[in-house]
Amino acid sequence: MRRAIFPGSFDPITLGHHDIISRGLELFDEVVVAIGVNANKKYMFSLEERMGFIEKAFKGKPNIKVVSYSGLTVDFCKEIEAGFILRGLRNPADFEFEKAIAHTNKVLTGIDTVFLLTASGTSFISSSIVRDVIRNGGDYTRLVPAAVRI
Ligand code: ADP
């Protein structure tokens, strides 16, 4: 079984994440969407809300699992026997940031990171911009899956 983990904060899940997960399912038998828990980070949505949005967005798809984890992503990969890390790339800044982490993970554990380039229609979307739109009463519904309703 080819299992990949798609780690992130998903605060909240956006159409960009949705695209990467859907396309990841073409490559892997199972995609585990893993919400990293960082005690020092402030989130707009609770862990339960973030998990709920993702579960609802992929309802009826048995090859997607939604879980939370803390600690190193590679340790969690070993725990759930995921051979790959899936990440999305939007721009050169994402690439530079992700490159160092992917190399570190590979050197430390041999786990490879598979990158999918963002779809052209969703490349501008980020959770932080969505949060800004929500905070200021804008129409966020065009940026997130229908499952995200506040
Ligand atoms: P993190 O806190 O790790 O950046 P995010 O929830 O912001 O977590 O993102 C998780 C993953 O989704 C990352 O690989 C990120 O590059 C990717 N991603 C975020 N937005 C988009 C988008 N619009 N298109 C493609 N990938 C995206």
90 phi and psi angles, rounded to 5 deg: -105, -35
Q: Indicate if the pLDDT at residue 54 is higher than 90.
A: yes
Q: What is the mean pLDDT of the chain?
A: 97
Q: Is 128 a catalytic residue?
A: no
Which amino acids bring their CB within 6 angstroms of ligand 1?
Answer: 8-10, 14, 16-17, 20, 87-88, 90, 94, 118, 122-123, 125-127
Q: Is 142 a catalytic residue?
A: no
Model confidence at 150, in pLDDT bands (50, 70, 90)? confident
Q: What is the mean pLDDT of residues 60-77?
A: 97
55 phi and psi angles, rounded to 5 deg: -60, -40
For residue 16, the CA-to-ligand 1 centroid distance in Å is 7
Give the model confidence (pLDDT) of 8-36 as tens digits.
999 999 999 999 999 999 999 999 999 99
pLDDT above 70 covers a percentage of the chain that reads 100
Which among 19, 20, 38, 148 is the best mutation to test ligand 1's pocket, defined by most ligand atoms within 8 Å of the CB? 20
Q: Indicate if the pLDDT at residue 63 is higher than 90.
A: yes
Give the model confidence (pLDDT) of 111-149 as tens digits.
999 999 999 999 999 999 999 999 999 999 999 999 999
- Structure token pair of residue 80: 């759930």
Q: How far apart are CA 107 and CA 117, in angstroms?
A: 23
